[in-house]
Amino acid sequence: AQSVSQHNHHVILSEAASLELGCNYSYGGTVNLFWYVQYPGQHLQLLLKYFSGDPLVKGIKGFEAEFIKSKFSFNLRKPSVQWSDTAEYFCAVNPSTDKLIFGTGTRLQVFP
Amino acid sequence: SQTIHQWPATLVQPVGSPLSLECTVEGTSNPNLYWYRQAAGRGLQLLFYSIGIDQISSEVPQNLSASRPQDRQFILSSKKLLLSDSGFYLCAWGTSGGAEEQYFGPGTRLTVT
């Protein structure tokens, strides 16, 4: 069955630290890839997406993600986190259907 | 611009009571509509999705059902709630074809007592 794995369940960082959140998926065909973010008390919203082209995708608020097809990965990165990045982050895969398959999420806490 | 509404925002219901959660979308036509349940540590579980009026696909067999009586209205229901139905329910819409991103509503926090 298709699945998305986020191995980091809870990440705690200090401001200015670098961030990398892992995302791996199990699907052999063409996929669209997404990272969503849910800030405390807010709607789930799109952070960035990859459909095709340059495998390094830049999103909002300085986030980026790299699609590595050979590793079935789409890791999220930010070189220097801020307190306002405290949120829950979800990786999602769309395997060319009408559905998104979400990972279990990673809770990020950033301390000033 | 498109907006998505869900109500109620919070709900406390006793076991065995019925449930009706409503989701409506404005500013788009013929959207794909989705119901998810979000549980801590378990991510978002897709419950139902719909590509058109009266076209509902169920992803997980359970105590819930969904209906789409109008193009931009999606309803999640139950005849008799269970304790295990407690959770945070999210509605989302996406463009037809499914390759694009989905847009999420504010959610409903359901507590079954």
Cβ atoms of residues A74 and A23 within 8 Å: yes
pLDDT in tens, B57-73: 988 767 899 999 999 99
A99/B contact by beta carbon, under 8 A: yes
d(CA A31, CA B54): 28
Measure in Å the smallest separation between the Cα of A93 and chain B Cα atoms. 10
Q: What is the mean pLDDT of residues A60-72?
A: 95
CB contact under 8 A, B43 and A96: no
Chain B positions touching A89 (Cβ under 8 A) are none
Chain B positions touching A45 (Cβ under 8 A) are 104
Considering only CA atoms, which of B28, B76, B97, B23 is closest in space to residue A100? Answer: B97
CB contact under 8 A, A104 and B46: no
Q: What is the mean pLDDT of residues B24-35?
A: 93
Cα separations in angstroms, B33 against A58, B14, B58, B94: 27, 28, 12, 7
Look at residue B79 and tell me whether its pLDDT is greater than 70.
Answer: yes
